[in-house]
Structure 1
Amino acid sequence: MTQPPNDEPTASSPEELREQVEQTRTELGQTVEALAAKTDVKARAQEKAAEVKEQAALKAGELKARAAELAHQAQDRLPDPVKDKAAQAAGQARATAAQAGQLWQEKAPEPVREKTAQGTQLARDNRKVLLAAAGVAVVVWLACRRKG
């Protein structure tokens, strides 16, 4: 048998020895789990991806809010005749879009309609990001137009 290290007490009874063995097993199991977690590259990459995704969603929300605020400020600065024209143009655009959608359903081949439906669903799933990007684009366009 080997001698125990000087700093560890020896067991005076078989019961104490069993407890020490069980404690050592528990500590060893925890150490192995910690090492396994550190070497699991896939899990760590997934955790990092989830963290980055969450940060991106927060940033997108901030950008969306800021873009909406700037767009609202820009809209408030427009004269009433321009606002009226914009509302009229929006109504005409909706009517034209409805007509185009109906024509599309009648004339487009089925595989093309399926792919378009998939793209539409993807856009709906990522609506916040698209709206934020569109808002930023409008604000940049207004700022460039104002400088020029």
Structure 2
Amino acid sequence: MREQVEGTREQLGQTVEELAGKADIKSRAKDKTATLTTQAKDTALHAKEQMQHKVAELAHQAQDKTPEPVRQKAAAARSDLARRAATVAEAVEHKTPEPVRDKAQQVTQAARHRPGALLAAGAVVLLALVMARRTRRHR
């Protein structure tokens, strides 16, 4: 009889633990969230890899279909453009006053650390330009 009571107590204890586990909604929600987050990250990574592969494949196909003279001309134009851009950048740097260069460097560093702020500022400037243009049109 005592053995039967002990067995029943053990079963009851296990049942209570199982029910407590099922009743712990917060823990179950965290587990489910972690599982879904992992699945979403895996899916996003897989999609990213597929897109990168597809882009590389399409770029390769485009390159294969582009005649050699066109590729050579594009490479020469790219090289010339890079050379001209470097020349212009050098001229601008020499003609720009030191305080302006310092301020531009500060803004660049801030934009690298907080790109969201840069996007927000750009959106505000764009909105202001659109509003100014509309105001001029309606006069």
Bucket of the pairwise TM-score, normalised by the shorter protein:
0.5 to 0.7
Query: Is residue 2:82 matched to residue 1:87?
Result: no
Structure 1 residue 47 corresponds to structure 2 residue 42 = no
Q: Which residue of 2 aligns with 1:7?
A: none
Q: How many residues align?
A: 105
Q: Which has the higher contact order (CA 8 A, sep 6+)?
A: 1
Provide the C-alpha distance between the structure 2 equivalents of 1:98 and 1:56, rounded to a whole number of angstroms: 42
What stretches of structure 2 of length at least 5 have no aligned partner? Answer: 116-139
Distance 1:24 1:70 in 2: 64
- Opposite residue 81 of structure 1, the aligned amino acid is P
Matched residue, 2:23: 35
Determine the C-alpha separation between the residues in 1 that align with 2:81 and 2:69. Answer: 18
Q: In the aligned structure 2, how far is the partner of 1:38 from the partner of 1:112?
A: 45
The equivalent residue for 2:58 is 70
Change (3 A) 1:92 1:29: farther
Partner deviation per Cα, 1:52-76 (whole Å, 9 max, x = no partner):
2221211111111011101100111
From 8, 19, 24, the counterpart of 2:12? 24
Q: Does 1:117 align with 2:120?
A: no
Letter in 2 for 1:58: H
Q: TM-score, with normalisation over the residues of structure 2?
A: 0.55
Match of 1:58 in 2: 46
Cα distance change of structure 1 residues 52 and 21 upon mapping to structure 2, 3 Å threshold: same
Q: CA RMSD in A?
A: 3.4
Amino acid in the other structure paired with 2:111: T
Q: C-alpha offsets along residues 28-82 of structure 1, whole Å, 9 cap, x if unaligned? A: 2123213325774455334323322221211111111011101100111001111
CA distance in 2, matches of 1:35, 1:63: 43
Supply the distance in 2 between the matched residues of 1:98 and 1:46 (Cα, whole angstroms).
Answer: 53
Residue 100 of structure 1: CA displacement?
Answer: 4.8
Q: 1:29 to 1:79 in 2, by over 3 A?
A: same
Percentage identity across aligned positions? 26
Measured in 2, the distance between the counterparts of 1:39 and 1:83 equals 59
